[in-house]
């Protein structure tokens, strides 16, 4: 019976190199496999929530550069160059769920939606199948991590999937405006994501930006609650210190308060995260230290492009470029900490 169900939801689509098919027409029920699942700008597959392996064949008679995003603006495949007349195959694993973006946001479109981008996109073929052996990377965080619904905003978790190969999926349950207090209290968040954890899943927790009035004891206890809850489900917790804010001192270093996440009660939030990680024997990604070094190296002017300073005078939230750079730091930390095998990440 299980095999029959998997066969029923397997979708295989082969397209001509030009992808000149007319836009798919609305019709009742699931769309049958065939070219009508895609247009020259993207694809839609009527599949239920779950995890899917996607294999694409890229290229055309002329040289091409193709990038793929999916669901709620998630970057799934970086821009890939293919020479004229050549074809290349790339694969990735994608999480399909409702809501498809932020857990407290709108439901989004049922099924799997993929969008074609890049300087000269060319999709020659595509195959979508249920993932049988994928490992999840579940993200718990705030607006600096989440799948932001609209440009120019982007969280680093939104950009992380493009750095991963088939076999690793990102399930981003970060949500704008959340603190450790609110994330645990909202049934759409902690009570929803925890039952979805499976043995072997990595669960990355980055919550600090909105713990502006959380005292140290409460903040520590909340992190410990999350660690224990993840472990109880068989998951592997990973604590992540928050990305820095772009607040400079006159000497070109970052401000110890606003930039380095010391809250209104004087609690050094990254220091507490490091302390809990050490006490609970939890892997730590010190994203505060990594982003501090990068932002200071870029300087006052160069770091503007990482954040939304030019667009919004925003020194906290990142641009697509900045989120992509920070996601690369997370990828590097996952590999360096032996949390993800080198063979399952993309470097270029």
> Which segments of the chain does DSSP mark as H helices, in order?
2-9, 156-159, 180-185, 190-193, 216-232, 269-280, 287-302, 309-312, 320-336
Is 19 within a domain? yes
Is 178 within a domain? yes
Among residues 117, 66, 73, 119, the alpha carbon closest in space to that of 89 is found at: 66
Q: What percent of the chain has pLDDT over 90?
A: 86
Q: Please report the beta strands in 20-167, taking only residues with DSSP state E, as ranges in sequence order.
A: 42-45, 50-58, 64-70, 74-82, 88-96, 112-120, 123-130, 135-141
If asked whether residues 185 and 171 sit together in one domain, one would say: yes
If asked whether residues 192 and 322 sit together in one domain, one would say: yes
Query: In CATH, what number is assigned to the domain containing residue 52?
Result: 2.60.120
Query: In CATH, what number is assigned to the domain containing residue 219?
Result: 3.40.50.1110
Q: What is the pLDDT of residues 61-108, one digit of tens each?
A: 999 999 999 999 999 999 999 999 999 999 999 999 999 999 999 999
Q: Is pLDDT above 90 for 316?
A: yes
Q: Is pLDDT above 50 for 274?
A: yes
Confidence at 37, pLDDT banded by 50, 70, 90: confident
If asked whether residues 158 and 240 sit together in one domain, one would say: yes
Is 1 within a domain? no
If asked whether residues 105 and 151 sit together in one domain, one would say: no
If asked whether residues 41 and 174 sit together in one domain, one would say: no
If asked whether residues 158 and 232 sit together in one domain, one would say: yes
State the average pLDDT over residues 314-342. 98
If asked whether residues 126 and 149 sit together in one domain, one would say: no
Of 29-33, 133-137, 150-154, 340-344, which gets the smallest average pLDDT?
A: 29-33
Among residues 279, 290, 273, 159, the alpha carbon closest in space to that of 208 is found at: 273
How many structural domains comprise the chain? 2
If asked whether residues 86 and 157 sit together in one domain, one would say: no
State the average pLDDT over residues 34-40. 73
If asked whether residues 85 and 206 sit together in one domain, one would say: no
The last residue of a domain, from among 130, 150, 168: 130
Of 17-31, 166-180, 301-315, which gets the smallest average pLDDT?
A: 17-31
If asked whether residues 145 and 188 sit together in one domain, one would say: yes
Q: What's the pLDDT at 36?
A: 65
Q: Are 70 and 56 in contact (CB under 8 A)?
A: no
The last residue of a domain, from among 86, 112, 130: 130
Is 294 within a domain? yes
Q: What is the pLDDT of residues 199-251, one digit of tens each?
A: 999 999 999 999 999 999 999 999 999 999 999 999 999 999 999 999 999 99
The last residue of a domain, from among 130, 161, 196: 130
Q: Is 232 exposed, middle or buried (0-12, 13-18, 19+ CB in 10 A)?
A: exposed
If asked whether residues 124 and 140 sit together in one domain, one would say: no
If asked whether residues 176 and 143 sit together in one domain, one would say: yes
Is 168 within a domain? yes
Q: Is pLDDT above 70 for 182?
A: yes
Among residues 50, 106, 117, 25, the alpha carbon closest in space to that of 79 is found at: 117
Confidence at 22, pLDDT banded by 50, 70, 90: very low
Domain membership of residue 83 as a residue range: 8-23+33-130
């Amino acid at each position: 019976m299980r095999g029959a169900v998997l066969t029923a939801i397997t979708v295989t689509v082969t397209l001509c190199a030009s992808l000149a098919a007319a836009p798919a027409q609305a019709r009742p029920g699931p769309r049958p496999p065939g070219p009508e699942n895609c247009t020259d700008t993207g694809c839609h597959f009527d599949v239920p929530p779950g995890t899917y392996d996607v294999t694409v064949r890229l290229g055309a008679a002329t040289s091409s550069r193709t990038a793929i995003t999916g669901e709620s603006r998630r970057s799934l495949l970086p821009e890939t160059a293919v020479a004229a007349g050549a074809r290349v195959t790339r694969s990735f694993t994608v999480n399909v769920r409702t809501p498809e973006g932020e857990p407290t946001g709108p439901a989004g479109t049922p099924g799997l939606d993929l969008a074609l981008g890049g300087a000269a996109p060319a999709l020659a073929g595509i195959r979508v199948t249920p993932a049988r052996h994928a490992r999840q990377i579940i993200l718990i965080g705030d607006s600096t991590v989440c799948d932001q619904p609209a440009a120019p905003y982007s969280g680093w978790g939104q950009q992380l999937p493009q750095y991963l190969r088939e076999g690793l999926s990102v399930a981003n349950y970060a949500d704008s405006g959340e603190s450790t207090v609110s994330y645990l209290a909202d049934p759409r968040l902690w009570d929803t994501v925890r039952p979805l954890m499976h043995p072997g899943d990595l669960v990355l927790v980055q919550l600090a930006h909105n713990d502006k009035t959380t005292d140290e004891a409460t903040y520590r206890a909340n992190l410990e609650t999350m660690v224990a809850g993840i472990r109880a489900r068989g998951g592997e917790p990973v604590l992540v210190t928050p990305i820095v804010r772009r607040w400079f001192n006159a000497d070109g270093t970052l401000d110890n308060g606003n930039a380095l996440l010391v809250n209104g009660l004087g609690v050094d939030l990254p220091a507490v995260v490091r302390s809990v990680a050490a006490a609970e024997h939890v892997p730590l990604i010190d994203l505060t230290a990594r982003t501090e070094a990068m932002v200071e190296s870029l300087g006052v002017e160069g770091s503007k492009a990482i954040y939304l300073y030019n667009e919004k005078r925003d020194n906290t939230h990142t641009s697509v470029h900045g989120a992509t750079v920070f996601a690369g730091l997370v990828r590097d930390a996952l590999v360096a900490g032996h949390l993800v095998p080198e063979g399952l990440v993309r470097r270029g």
